[in-house]
Amino acid sequence: MQNTIKKPTLTLAIAGTILMSACNQTAPKSNTSMTDSTTTTAAATLPAAAGFEKTIDGKPTKLYILKNKNGVEAGITNYGGTLVGLLVPDKDGKLTDVVVGFDGIEGFQKAAGSYYGATIGRYGNRIAKGKFTLDGKQYSIFTNNGANTLHGGKKGFDANVWDAKQVDSTTLELTYLSKDMEEGYPGNLNVKITYKLTDDNELKISYEATTDKNTVVNLTNHSYFNLNGAGSGTNLEHLVQIDADGYTPVDTTLIPTGKIEPVKGTPFDFTTPTTIGARIEEDNAQIKAGGGYDHNYVLNKHDISKPIATVIGDKSGIKMEVFTEEPGLQFYTGNFMQGKNTILGGKKDDHRTAFAMETQHYPDSPNQPNFPSTVLKPGAVYKTQTIYKFSVK
Ligand code: GLA
């Protein structure tokens, strides 16, 4: 599937503003009777389980629900290891769904090229021309994004059914065997992902993988966040801070040039809190290449105890902090969203109505000797963790 960059229009911007003020909260959703007695708009709920009960590739799919003691809920399906919805309290304590999702698996399948909420693998983001060389041998993988491979290939981890084990009310384990040469990648890769919802309102995603042949691995989650509530309007007034002094500029097909450029003095500088919209229309070649932000940030030296990004929803007061062990962060502002899909609650997935923060190794690393390596060898364990933590400002 090829992404095409859609130019923002004034109409869209106005429509977004109207939507934002008119629909601060998505319509109530199906499966619970939770209501908020202090406000007129109902609290958000997760979609009904029925839309997720299917058989795909001969395997059963389901909606799994994690819930912590604060009433925070995460809905995850084993189809694509996908985060379907995430209910967190806003500044008034009202549960708000901060992740764009659909009322059933078909919605996710129809919007497959957008990777809503999905687990991404075997290689997150792009590999130039669908080719890389490992141990002197060239591998060709399926090209699904113009000349390049994006997010795994034709049928990435997002479109496969995972085996699921709900360990307890806050923990879900998903496993998947990506067979030798699946999509063209060498080695049988055994992958385990654990979603854990803590009582500190953190969604922790732990990734583990082992291989029986040298291969490349880059796993991430592709949730689209709108901290004012999915379907509540554009992301442009969200306040963003990213702890990165550098980023990897791209060519017109969004493949890194190989350079690491400083963000200072460019629209890419989020070292101090700035709204998404403040510079997104600037006359800057990189902004133009991405149709907005669609770039990998080279995170400053950090460990998992320190947030590498913080975002605040201007209307809801919901704050999201991102913690990761990964060296990079793909900050994507929904530039390819085109309003073609109806999301949970009935709104369309309009242009720039959500953003993604995909923790990762840098795009096209298998072809970029200067970037941190994504090679996994037999005997080694790929192990990494990302946390999305929610509070109110
Ligand atoms: C990533 C890519 C974007 C786009 C989205 C999915 O964020 O970098 O260019 O393809 O996935 O639409």
Domain locations along the chain: 10-392
ω into residue 352 within 30 of 0, thus cis? no
Least confidently predicted of 17-21, 105-109, 310-314, 368-372: 17-21
pLDDT at 174: 99
Q: What is the mean pLDDT of residues 357-381?
A: 98
pTM: 0.90
Q: Is 358 tagged catalytic?
A: yes
Ligand 1 mean position to 364 CA, how many Å?
A: 13
Residue 41 is predicted with a pLDDT of: 72
What is the residue-averaged pLDDT of the chain?
91
Residue 363 CA: nearest ligand 1 atom is 8
Overall residue count recorded for the chain in this entry = 393
Any catalytic annotation for residue 151? no
Does the C-beta of 157 come closer than 6 Å to ligand 1?
Answer: no
Return all residues near 37 (Cβ < 8 A) that are at least 6 apart.
Answer: none
Structure tokens at 309: 């990004």
79: Cα separation from own chain's centroid: 15
**CATH class of the region 10-392:** mainly beta
The one-letter code for the residue type at 56 is I
The predicted pLDDT at position 194 comes to 99
- Point out the catalytic residue in the list 73, 151, 182, 222: 222
Ligand 1 proximity of 150 Cβ (cutoff 6 Å): yes
Q: Dump pLDDT digits (tens) for 24-46.
A: 323 333 333 333 344 447 899 99
pLDDT score of 239 more than 90: yes
330 pocket-lining for ligand 1 (C-beta < 6 Å): yes
